[in-house]
Structure 1
């Protein structure tokens, strides 16, 4: 009885009875490779149900809705994918990149805007739910060349370093003041706690809010 060469390729046995010899490791690998190649080829050549479908086709097939809302005082109407967040609508469709995408999960506050006067994390809101709403972003605070009082206070108090989270901090601060949560530094910190400052300027941010609220 002779042993087969390790380089030989033995076809898979057609007889599955107990007398048939099991395939060698090399045969198994060769057969598996052939089957895998056939599956891939079928997908490329049209055998797969998703054959020929591209990312663009999938995007075109996604449900979309026409939405009208007021952004920084201007009425805007756009047809968007129903999955579009308010943050992506602002940044990618309207070019308002002041609202930053930090965690994109509602944990950092970098995307804070005002919706009908209330603070909201823009990354958590579907834009299609805002028909008729009024949205204010960091770009809409200043009056021409005149800064909003809180924007000026951030400069006066040096309440930022890298500046990435500053727009969200300012928008949250404006909401905090409008909501009347500025009775003490402790209250301000509590009601601003949803906004992260990566540079750790929290003390100066509180001072800026106090200055704008007339407490300093």
Structure 2
């Protein structure tokens, strides 16, 4: 049982324990679009009653999810837009995601060991190769266009000599467009739910939802020249 004494084993056990717990708690049921819709009134009530404390709680939960690479970040982003509006929801989510990602980046070597890059597989090696060629541009690209898991993009730079300032700034600015899109979608979802439980096209296609769809289209178009550039490099 010596393997249980390693940091990696303890981290894996912690993540597994949280995932199992989520299956048997209301939070696990809430982290879905259906659960979010069912809980909207209660969540809105919490935000109205507690204001800043609710925002702090949202940020803390988001940091926790990002730090442990738990499922539900997309649903939480939608919830941020639904509960706080597109603008504030985007600001809170960007701050929380940046803090969570930075914690992973700073602790990566301590948690996974100095030779972790060799054990993370081919995807990690491809990320590392791009970072070594052009760190700032490639990290921005990975944040704008999520070709690899968010958690992996948080870990690999720690083993490529990326400075914390570069990591924080590229994360902060790189995740804004995608976060804004999902926050707009969340605000649109909230507007549709507030209009009533029986949906029609006019209720679902709110200005916020249309903006989110246009944003997703713009990100997809942006990805084409960026992918071609880095493939060519």
TM category (shorter chain) comes to under 0.3
Greater helix share, 1 or 2? 2
Which protein has greater RCO, CA pairs closer than 8 Å, 6+ apart?
Answer: 2
- Alignment TM-score, normalising by the size of structure 1: 0.25
Greater strand share, 1 or 2? 1
- Alignment TM-score, normalising by the size of structure 2: 0.23
Could you say which structure has the larger radius of gyration?
Answer: 1
